[in-house]
């Protein structure tokens, strides 16, 4: 292993009747920013297809594509105008089919986003719904009369700022939107809406996708009585949404019933995989409900790491403790960074610490019990880019500027070639600027450097595949004190100890165990700053 010891023989993973996704490493692609094939400055599906060899070279098991569906792009694809088509900026259905075919040929599964909470206001369903109270789609969205004084039906606030209700003159009613007012809330309590969403899912399953990441699933159903949310306790607040406890505008108990219908559909297609995004300050109960037993989704992830201001042993231990290996409890997934959060490396490490911190963080992610999600560019150590206000595209950042860190800063173009124009992402000016230091982190430069983070990532993914304890084993926290985190991974006759130093001082060890991997100069006697060590016992 690059800059690491690998003296102990690998314990080959046992052949077990486990589904392909259990313990799989999944690589998230943000299509607008991955690779541009036609020179318009925006990434597209053919660009992704042309770069799938890079993803396959990491050794990951699957890719997750963020939305590429027909959309006015007010929320960059999460405002869907047609669930069953590709937006022209990304290509065509035939381009999608070619991507799936190439991915499968490389041994990669393909996951895509499903957005069931809302659509674009340009979707045909909403255009029909707003025309009157008696049409075919009249109750496909959440409509309500005003209060007697003309004010909105409830005090609910939208995530992106302001009331979650917008008046529509045609229906003489308010419609609900938990995000932008151009993202009207679907009435998923309606069986006809559920059926339409399941038909859209089947459309993509028929085209060969291997599963879904389900966006904002806890926003899918609301309280039909439209009761006001109570005030939130004092805490950090940058938008009206933060002033309320989100009790009635989301998280309705009937969400699990819809998820059972979705799971039944997926099971009819074989070994597919579904992972839910669950946000909010108290997501654990919902994550467990959404993944309970074998009738719901396979996995879920929260924002435990995505919004953490610091990454510490205690933060990691608390997150892991929420997912014990118990019968009936779902399988966890983990992401350190994604398209909705500032890149973790910039949140957690000073500039001079980032090269070594990134190596330790990668080792941590790839030794956790569950499914690690790698965000594009994470294998290169990409940092958060400071986007000038005039260049912002993210509606949340624009609305809450300057108090909310821009999601745009984590969505900047992937650097492929250090010396090419725009680092090989495009032949013309990209939709977002490249990070000033990102060309030096380009794929071609790191591929040629045996000691690079990119090559270490490849080695750590291979290590995970070679050890059943890392891919499938139980996890037990042994120590989470100060800067030291130690946990054990056990499977069958194999037991591994994983040790991490989150600080800048050397930590002395007892010298026991056989090194399987050592990061940043670690050995059995000491963990240097941001050192990591995997030991066989």
User: What's the distance, Cα to Cα, between the start and end of the chain in Å?
Assistant: 19
Q: Does position 254 have pLDDT exceeding 70, yes or no?
A: yes
Confidence at residue 327, expressed as pLDDT on a 0 to 100 scale: 84
Q: How far apart (Å, rounded) are the C-alpha atoms in residues 289 and 217?
A: 12
Tokens of residue 169, six digits: 């003159």
CA 189/CA 206 separation, integer angstroms:
26
Q: What is the DSSP-derived secondary structure letter of residue 491?
A: E
Question: Of 3.40.50.1220, 3.20.20.80, 2.70.70.10, 3.65.10.10, which CATH number belongs to 26-120+188-465?
Answer: 3.20.20.80
H helix runs in 419-452, sequence order: 443-447
Average pLDDT over residues 196-212: 98
Which of 277, 378, 394, 459 is catalytic? The answer is 277
Please state, for a pLDDT cut of 90, what percent of the chain lies above it.
86
pLDDT attached to residue 404: 62
What is the per-residue pLDDT for 239? 86
Confidence of residue 8 (pLDDT cuts 50, 70, 90): very low
Does residue 14 carry a catalytic annotation?
no
Residue 394 is predicted with a pLDDT of 86
Over residues 142-167, the pLDDT tens digits come to 999 999 999 999 999 999 889 999 99
Range 101-123 average pLDDT: 98
Q: Is the pLDDT of residue 440 over 80?
A: yes
346 Cβ contact list (under 8 Å, min separation 6): 354, 383, 384
DSSP-derived 3-state class of residue 135: coil
**Active site (annotated) includes residue 352:** no
Global confidence as pTM: 0.95
Domain ranges within the chain, ordered by starting residue: 26-120+188-465
Q: Measured between alpha carbons, how far is 207 from 190 in angstroms, rounded to an integer?
A: 27
- Out of 44, 215, 396, 408, the active site residue is 215
| CA–CA dist 188, 194 (Å, integer) | 6
**Residue 320: helix, strand or coil by DSSP?**
helix
Q: With 50 as the cut, is the pLDDT of residue 537 above it?
A: yes
Taking only the tens place, the pLDDT of each residue in 55-69 is 999 999 999 999 999
CA distances from residue 178 to 105, 222, 307, 343 in whole angstroms, order as listed: 40, 10, 20, 25
Q: What is the 3-state secondary structure (H, E, C) of 23-79?
A: CCCEEEECHHHCCCCCCCCCCCHHHHHHCHHHHHHCCCCEEEECCCEECCCCCCCCC
Decide which of 92 and 10 is more confident: 92
What confidence tier does 395 reach under pLDDT thresholds 50, 70, 90? confident
- Give yes or no for a contact between 488 and 497, defined as CB atoms under 8 angstroms apart: yes
């Amino acid at each position: 292993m690059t800059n690491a010891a690998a003296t102990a023989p690998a314990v080959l993973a046992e052949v077990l009747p486990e589904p392909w996704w259990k313990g799989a490493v999944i690589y998230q692609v943000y299509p607008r920013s991955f690779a541009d094939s036609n020179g318009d400055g925006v990434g597209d599906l053919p660009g992704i297809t042309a770069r799938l060899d890079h993803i396959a070279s990491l050794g990951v098991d699957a890719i997750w594509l963020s939305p590429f569906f027909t959309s006015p792009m007010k929320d960059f694809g999460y405002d869907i105008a047609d669930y069953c088509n590709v937006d022209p900026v990304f290509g065509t259905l035939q381009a999608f089919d070619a991507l799936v075919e190439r991915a499968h040929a490389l041994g990669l599964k393909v996951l895509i986003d499903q957005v069931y909470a809302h659509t674009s206001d340009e979707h045909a369903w909403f255009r029909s719904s707003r025309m009157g109270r008696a049409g075919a789609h009249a109750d496909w969205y959440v409509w309500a009369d005003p209060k007697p004084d003309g004010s909105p039906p409830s005090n609910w606030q939208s995530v992106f700022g302001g009331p979650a209700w917008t008046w529509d003159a045609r229906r003489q009613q308010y419609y609900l939107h938990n995000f932008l007012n151009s993202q009207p809330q679907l009435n998923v309590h309606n069986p006809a809406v559920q059926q339409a969403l399941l038909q859209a899912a089947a459309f993509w399953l028929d085209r060969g996708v291997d599963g879904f990441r389900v966006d904002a699933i806890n926003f899918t159903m609301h309280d039909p009585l439209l009761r006001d949310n109570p005030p939130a306790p004092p805490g950090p607040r940058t938008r009206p949404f933060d002033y309320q406890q989100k009790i009635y505008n989301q998280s309705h108990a009937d969400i699990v019933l819809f998820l059972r219908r979705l799971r039944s559909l997926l099971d009819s297609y074989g070994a597919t995989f579904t992972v839910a995004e669950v946000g909010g300050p108290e997501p654990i109960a919902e994550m467990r409900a959404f993944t309970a037993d074998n009738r719901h989704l396979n996995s879920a992830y929260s924002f435990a790491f995505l919004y953490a201001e610091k990454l510490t042993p205690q933060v990691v231990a608390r997150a892991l403790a929420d997912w014990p290996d118990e019968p009936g409890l779902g399988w966890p997934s983990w992401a350190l960074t994604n398209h909705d959060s500032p890149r973790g490396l910039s949140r957690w490490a000073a500039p001079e610490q980032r090269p070594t911190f990134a190596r330790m963080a990668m080792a941590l992610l790839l030794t956790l019990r569950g499914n690690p999600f790698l965000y594009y560019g994470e294998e290169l150590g990409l940092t958060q880019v400071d986007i000038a206000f005039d260049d912002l595209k993210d509606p949340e950042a624009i609305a809450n500027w300057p108090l909310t860190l821009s999601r745009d800063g984590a969505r900047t173009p992937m650097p492929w070639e250090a010396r090419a124009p725009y680092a090989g992402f495009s032949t013309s000016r990209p939709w977002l600027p490249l990070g000033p230091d990102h060309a030096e982190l380009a794929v071609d430069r790191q591929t040629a450097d045996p000691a690079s983070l990119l090559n270490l990532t490849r080695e750590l993914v291979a290590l995970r595949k070679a050890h059943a304890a890392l891919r499938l084993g139980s996890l037990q926290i042994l120590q989470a004190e100060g800067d030291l985190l130690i946990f054990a991974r056990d499977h069958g006759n194999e037991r591994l100890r994983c040790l991490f130093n989150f600080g800048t001082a050397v930590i002395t060890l007892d010298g026991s165990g056989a090194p399987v991997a050592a990061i940043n100069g670690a050995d059995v006697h000491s963990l240097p700053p941001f050192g990591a060590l995997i030991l066989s016992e």
